[in-house]
Structure 1
Amino acid sequence: MSGMHYGLLVLGDEMKWNKLVQTIVPMVYWLIVAVALTLYTGWRVKRTYEIPMQELAKATSKVAHGDFSVYIPPINTADKTDYLDVMIMDFNKMVEELGSIETLKTDFFSNVSHEIKTPLAVIQSNAELLQKDDIPEEQKKECTETILGATKRLTGLITNILKLSKLEKQAINPEPKRYDICAQLCECALQFENVWEEKDIEFEADLEDRAYIEADEELMAIVWTNLLSNAVKFTPQGGKITLTENSDNERVIISVSDSGCGMDEQTMKHIFDKFYQGDTSHSTEGNGLGLALVHKIMQISDGTVSVKSSPDKGSVFTVTLSAAKL
């Protein structure tokens, strides 16, 4: 542009323009340049910032009204990403997460409603039978036992929901302390002794004399109780359950294996989801929250839980925790 200005001055001298013309021509030239630059800058700002921000505002309004299917494409390619692209990508990620949370919330309420409705229906039907005058004493006893079983299941469901809710909201703060994990495993296992005998299950425990971890003892008791309870539930009559524990200076590994029905790959992907029950034949014996509790407790205890299984070959749940420092 400076070259053009100089060229106009040279042209004016060669053409012998008067001084007024030589003054006006450069001024008109720079006026045209200024207008062009202003228009171009305005167009670039509108295209690069104003329009994308308007799209972002519209998308935000849709999200605020409950539409989580919104997606804003980035303005530039990956190699030319600027801060506005980063903001848009973060917005898309946020909307995706909000959509997932909304889906989980909907599924949660749906599952809770279903799980509560089932025992309530059992209680109602048996209570109606008890109201009849001609019902035999034996049937009365059966109805009473059924009602008690349904109320226990309902109580267990509500208790687990509250525990899981508190854990997810971090309302329960773990209180780690150093204790013998082997002794705790023995205590938890002995709670199921009567069930082993009823189902003629062979129970084998391979534990060290002692091994110490630093964790919340009450929360860890929930883990072992749920894993052993599942093993007992899915092990058939005359089956086998094995509880093993081994440790080194850095970690303690506990495994609970059973000879039950096992799981396929699809079931294992969702086994730690809330209310998920892969084997519907045992759905009346639980509420699908036990393993979700186990998984959450492991997360806040800096431990891991994994599962290996195959159909008709049983399952092995493995918990890994850090060993307590000497």
Structure 2
Amino acid sequence: MRISPPKNRGLWWHFVSLVFVIVVSFLLVMAILAYLYIRLGNDAMQHRNPFPPVLTIILFSLVIGTTITVTVGRKILAPIADLIKAAKEVSKGNFEIHLDESHRVDEISDAAHHFNIMVQELRSIETLRNDFVVNVSHEFKTPIAAIEGYATLLQDDSLSKEEHDEYTGMIIDSARQLSALSGNILKISKLENQELLTEQTEYRLDEQLRQALLLLESAWEPKQLNLNIELDELHYYGNEELMMQVWLNVLGNAIKFTPEGGEISVSLRPDGPWISAVIADTGIGMTPKVRKHIFEKFYQGDPARSAEGNGLGLPLVARIISLSGGTIEVSSEPGVGSAFTIKLPGPVSAK
């Protein structure tokens, strides 16, 4: 964690001090001149032209003032020159720049501090972008290679009908996986560049959850899962289409990782100014390491199940919940199951 630099003297104070020093220096010299004039008396000075000494003193004061100005100004402007050079390096893509934050002027110190934070954030974004490109390339490569491989096998005229149907099914599954991956990438890219939700309406949130369960019936019915449903009648104001993506992803994961004969619980109820939805299962659960990374793009806790997903479902869920002003938390233990708690802001209207 970065510590803010200490507050020191401001730029305005330094310039005021500079002018003050120049004025005091000039007045001091003039005071010495006046003292000598009075000390020596008018008689000693009457045969001399008074203007040359005065001009000499003025010029001498200007030299002193200029010297002080240049010295102090150089110290003040040097960090600004460094900031300009650093900005040029960042514009060229060099994110390893770090400015000294220990300047005595607090405005310059703050500027360096926030510049370093900006560069650090840009460096993180660049790293994420590179990782994203690598992951996308890898994820696309797998289904494309499968399609190419099985299509090549289909060129063999000696294949039996069973083999032909098997290879055709593999191609279809890989194509669907590729389509889902492309769709999720487009969705999450759009949402990451979006700060506000649009197309919000008021609708029945409990009815939406029931619709999501019906849409997933083909997944949970063959596994003979027990459904424990407790849904209060609640009205919610939000983006209906995006929120359906949340329920389909979370419920889909619960169904996927719950063995036959297991149980899935879904509850929805008001919780003060929030709407609280809890989706729990009695599935395989997660280790603390997996639980820590499940909302990261392309992360898959079980590599053996990578063909069943692309690691974008939960990051997509987290982004939608964040844009909706809500929160999502998960509790899980290996062999016990997982529980996702989603809280959405009101207003809540219970009928």
Same-fold call, TM > 0.5? yes
- Once the two structures are TM-superposed, the CA of residue 15 in structure 1 deviates from its matched residue by 4.3
Rounded Cα–Cα distance in structure 2 between residues aligned with 1:297 and 1:5: 73
Give the aligned partner of residue 148 of structure 1.
172
Give the aligned partner of residue 207 of structure 1.
231
Give the aligned partner of residue 179 of structure 1.
203
- Once the two structures are TM-superposed, the CA of residue 145 in structure 1 deviates from its matched residue by 0.7
Q: Summarize the alignment of residues 181-196 of structure 1 with structure 2, pairs less than 5 Å apart.
A: 181-196=205-220
Q: Provide the secondary structure at the position in 1 that maps to 2:331.
A: strand
Query: Are 2:242 and 1:223 aligned?
Result: no
Checking the alignment, whether the CA contact within 8 Å between 2:226 and 2:263 is kept in structure 1 is yes
- Per-residue CA deviations over 1:164-183 (Å, capped at 9, x if unaligned) read 22222339953222211111
Q: Provide the secondary structure at the position in 2 that maps to 1:178.
A: strand
Rounded Cα–Cα distance in structure 2 between residues aligned with 1:66 and 1:10: 63
Give the aligned partner of residue 330 of structure 2.
307
Query: Could you say if the C-alpha distance between residues 191 and 270 of structure 1 is closer, same or farther in structure 2, counting changes exceeding 3 Å?
Result: same
Give the aligned partner of residue 300 of structure 2.
277
Rounded Cα–Cα distance in structure 2 between residues aligned with 1:213 and 1:14: 92
Number of residue pairs the alignment of both structures matches: 321
Checking the alignment, whether the CA contact within 8 Å between 2:195 and 2:323 is kept in structure 1 is no
Q: Summarize the alignment of residues 224-243 of structure 1 with structure 2, pairs less than 5 Å apart.
A: 224-243=247-266
Give the aligned partner of residue 30 of structure 2.
5
Q: Summarize the alignment of residues 57-136 of structure 1 with structure 2, pairs less than 5 Å apart.
A: 57-76=84-103, 81-82=106-107, 84-136=108-160
Checking the alignment, whether the CA contact within 8 Å between 1:196 and 1:203 is kept in structure 2 is no
Checking the alignment, whether the CA contact within 8 Å between 1:160 and 1:290 is kept in structure 2 is yes
Rounded Cα–Cα distance in structure 2 between residues aligned with 1:319 and 1:325: 15
- Once the two structures are TM-superposed, the CA of residue 324 in structure 1 deviates from its matched residue by 3.9
Which amino acid is the alignment partner of residue 127 of structure 2? T
- Once the two structures are TM-superposed, the CA of residue 37 in structure 1 deviates from its matched residue by 1.6
- Once the two structures are TM-superposed, the CA of residue 307 in structure 1 deviates from its matched residue by 1.4
Give the aligned partner of residue 69 of structure 2.
41
Rounded Cα–Cα distance in structure 1 between residues aligned with 2:302 and 2:254: 13
Give the aligned partner of residue 22 of structure 2.
none
Query: Are 2:188 and 1:160 aligned?
Result: no
Rounded Cα–Cα distance in structure 2 between residues aligned with 1:9 and 1:177: 84
Rounded Cα–Cα distance in structure 2 between residues aligned with 1:30 and 1:166: 68
Rounded Cα–Cα distance in structure 1 between residues aligned with 2:266 and 2:226: 11
Rounded Cα–Cα distance in structure 1 between residues aligned with 2:198 and 2:253: 24
Which amino acid is the alignment partner of residue 96 of structure 2? S
Instruction: Report percent identity of matched pairs.
Output: 37
- Per-residue CA deviations over 1:183-211 (Å, capped at 9, x if unaligned) read 11111112233322333433322222x21
Which amino acid is the alignment partner of residue 296 of structure 2? D
Query: Are 2:56 and 1:28 aligned?
Result: yes
- Give me the TM-score of the superposition, normalised by structure 2: 0.84
Q: Provide the secondary structure at the position in 2 that maps to 1:52.
A: helix
Measured on the aligned residues, the alpha-carbon RMSD in Å equals 2.3
Q: Provide the secondary structure at the position in 1 that maps to 2:280.
A: strand
* Equivalent residue in structure 1 for 2:270, among 244, 247, 262: 247
Q: Provide the secondary structure at the position in 2 that maps to 1:199.
A: coil
* Structure 1 residue runs without a partner (length 5+): none
Bigger mean CA deviation after superposition, 247-256 or 60-69: 247-256
- Once the two structures are TM-superposed, the CA of residue 249 in structure 1 deviates from its matched residue by 6.0
Q: Provide the secondary structure at the position in 1 that maps to 2:222.
A: helix
* Equivalent residue in structure 1 for 2:290, among 264, 267, 289: 267
Rounded Cα–Cα distance in structure 2 between residues aligned with 1:264 and 1:71: 38
- Per-residue CA deviations over 1:200-257 (Å, capped at 9, x if unaligned) read 433322222x211111211111000000111112223333221111125632211111
- Give me the TM-score of the superposition, normalised by structure 1: 0.90
* Structure 2 residue runs without a partner (length 5+): 1-24
- Once the two structures are TM-superposed, the CA of residue 101 in structure 1 deviates from its matched residue by 1.5
- Once the two structures are TM-superposed, the CA of residue 75 in structure 1 deviates from its matched residue by 4.6
Rounded Cα–Cα distance in structure 1 between residues aligned with 2:63 and 2:243: 73
Checking the alignment, whether the CA contact within 8 Å between 2:270 and 2:348 is kept in structure 1 is no
Which amino acid is the alignment partner of residue 85 of structure 1? S
Query: Could you say if the C-alpha distance between residues 113 and 68 of structure 1 is closer, same or farther in structure 2, counting changes exceeding 3 Å?
Result: same
Which amino acid is the alignment partner of residue 252 of structure 1? I
Q: Provide the secondary structure at the position in 2 that maps to 1:10.
A: helix
Bigger mean CA deviation after superposition, 168-177 or 179-188: 168-177
Rounded Cα–Cα distance in structure 1 between residues aligned with 2:296 and 2:74: 46
